[in-house]
Amino acid sequence: MFSSRYKQPKSLESLALIRLGNWIAQQAEAQMTPTTLLAQQNPNQAQIALARRVDSIRQYLDFHVPWMLHDLFANEAIKSLSELLEKTKNAMGFRGSMSKFVSQMNVIVKMTEALFTKNFTYVSIDAIPKMMRSVFYSKLFMLTGLEYLNLGSLSGGWKTADMEESIIKSLKELHSLKYLFINYDCTDKILKCIVENCKNLLKLDVSCSKCITNESISILCKLKRLKSIQLYHTFVTWEGFVNLLINCRSLEDIGRCDEIGRVLEFIHLNCPEALPLRLKIFVSRYANSKHLELAVESCPEIRNMTVFHNTLQSDLIVLIGLKSLCELKLLSCDFYADQIKQVLQVKGCNLSYLHLEHVDQIDLNALMYISQMCPLLQVLTFYNCSLIQHTSLYTKKLEILPFRNLKKLTCVSAFTDEQLTFLLSNCLNIEFIQIGTAIQLTDEFVVKILEKNPLIYLRELRIMQSDFLTIASIERIIQSCMSLEILVELESWSMLSDSDRDYIKNYIKINNFNIDTSPIRRYDS
């Protein structure tokens, strides 16, 4: 189904949320002068008065904003407050009063607390401007309805002890949490708090937390509903993973565990009654053939398999025993020599996702095999693969129309024009395309592809770097791709001048096209 080619008027709901977000920023701006004046006479009284005003606004919002719209409203309010922060910074002159500036910034940051109602369900710290994050860290306990919480990198593991108390204070109130990310700074005390207060937790990510050890596993096993746990770069060893899998029977995903083969081997020999396991995701860089066989036997429900292949130790053909396999990621192997073709011949009809990374011997024939053996493929990625010229072309008539279900294509490898033409001219329903720096497209090539496949469903196009594409390609892409909404990385096209980029922006604006060419804003950078 086509998205609208032209920008549409915003819905009344969207307009209302934007205006309400702006209103929050206006309230902060209105409080600046009286708070600054009062702070000069009585700083404590100024803080009390501001806190009362923020509480009043919070109660007003809690009553009037429908609960299902609160997260959307919070996003708009944070945008408006962020813009006000920038405006206030820019207004600070060389001779400006520092105490006045600090007071104004405090008002803006304090106003963020007006959003902290029970209807706030989704918080990702990395998506929040840095200056506002301290409020979230210190007042998270107010968000009693929170279901998703990503605390970001916190101290990065440098001040774990300092963070512990405030995290525990917040988690004691977050009884609705289902998804929690605490990287670097999780501790056993925090885990105990989670067990006692977050009984609905489904996914927990404590990656890179050096305080998490085998001793922590007995605590984690008390989370009876837990389906996913990420322990990569902690001090949990293979013995800890054995304990985890035997005692936490609800687990479907334990993240990357390079010693999962050794874990399964131990369970198979010493605790066979614990088998089969419910794991649906398998990620390992060191699994040999025996370990892969154990995975197939012990974890029959695996749907997502990531394998780093070692030619001397593992045989990929054992993967055909996974009945539910639908997502496959293969690293460091050869398409023909390591029997990837044979695996796809058996399992390809079930695959919706295929990621090939550092895979060699891929030629045009291999691409044709993938298109025929994986007819339901929706996501296809080639990352740092070695593509070669074919020696003898696949001459049989293709029985299945190639790549007709493909929605997302990522090519971060050096393709020949012929190979790329086969991919791009056949994926008629593609919605996302990313072209890496190893591929240098030309205007002529773009014209040739669009004549064969106008990419009418393409929503997002990322051509990471180009030394040959000109403004002519951009115009042709915009004219042909009727559903295009995102066209980014134009800053890395060396043939485009600043005036070319300005022309494209004006061209899109004048024609009212629904296309965004601006770089993605990242608050965590």
The answer to whether residues 154 and 183 touch, using CB atoms and an 8 Å cutoff, is yes
Compute the chain's Rg from CA coordinates: 27
Q: What is the rounded distance in angstroms from the CA atom of residue 198 to the CA atom of residue 255? A: 21
- List pLDDT tens digits, range 365-395: 999 999 999 999 999 999 999 888 876 665 5
Q: Is residue 60 pLDDT above 50, yes or no?
A: yes
Find the mean pLDDT for residues 452-459: 97
160 pLDDT band, cuts 50/70/90, is confident
The token pair that represents 502 in the structure block:
């300005």
Helix, strand, coil % (nearest 5) of the chain?
45, 15, 40
Nearest to 234 by CA among 244, 223, 226: 244
- pLDDT over 90 at 499, yes or no: yes
- Band of residue 519 on the pLDDT scale cut at 50, 70, 90: confident
C-alpha of 279 from chain center: 22
Could you tell me if 74 and 66 are in contact, meaning their C-beta atoms sit under 8 angstroms apart? no
Q: Which residue has the tokens 């687990």?
A: 251
Phi/psi at 493 (nearest 5 deg)?
A: -90, 105
pLDDT tens digit sequence for 98-142? 888 999 999 999 999 999 999 999 999 999 999 999 999 999 999
380, 408 contact by CB (below 8 A): yes
Q: Are strands 179-181 and 148-150 parallel, antiparallel or unpaired?
A: parallel
Q: What is the pLDDT of residue 388?
A: 87
pLDDT at 505 over 50: yes
In this predicted structure, the answer to whether residue 522 has a pLDDT above a threshold of 50 is: no
Residue 395: the pLDDT is: 59
pLDDT band at 163 (very low <50, low <70, confident <90, very high): confident
For residue 314 the two structure tokens come to 């593992």
| Structure-block tokens of residue 58 | 């919070």
Nearest-angstrom CA–CA distance, 295 and 279: 9
Q: What is the mean pLDDT of residues 389-411?
A: 85
3-state secondary structure of 329: strand
**C-alpha dihedral sign at 477, 479, 483, 485:** positive
Cα separation, 116 vs 149, whole angstroms: 14
- Give the model confidence (pLDDT) of 182-199 as tens digits: 999 999 999 999 999 999
The mean per-residue pLDDT over the stretch 512-520 comes to 88
Q: Kindly list the distances between the CA atom of residue 206 and the CA atoms of 182, 191, 216, in Å, as whole numbers in the listed order.
A: 5, 10, 11
Higher pLDDT, residue 32 or 4:
32
pTM: 0.90
Three-point CA angle 325, 327, 329, nearest 5° = 115
| Helix and strand element counts for the chain (H, E) | 17, 15
Placement of tokens 């720096």 in the chain: 437
Model confidence band, residue 470 (pLDDT cutoffs 50, 70, 90): very high
Mean predicted confidence (pLDDT) in 411-427: 95
Is residue 128 classed as helix, strand or coil in its secondary structure? Answer: coil
Residues in the chain: 525
Average pLDDT, rounded, for the chain: 93
Convert the pLDDT of each residue in 269-315 to its tens digit: 999 999 999 999 999 988 888 999 999 999 999 999 999 876 655 68
User: Does 276 sit behind a cis peptide bond, omega within 30 degrees of 0 on the bond before it?
Assistant: yes
Tokens representing residue 322 in the block: 């996974």
Do 339 and 319 meet the contact criterion of CB atoms below 8 Å apart? no
CA distances from 442 to 31, 299, 426, 466, 482 (A): 56, 47, 19, 8, 21
Q: What is the 3-state secondary structure (H, E, C) of 336-348?
A: CCCCHHHHHHHHH
Share of the chain above pLDDT 70, in %: 96
Least confident of 63-72, 140-149, 310-319: 310-319
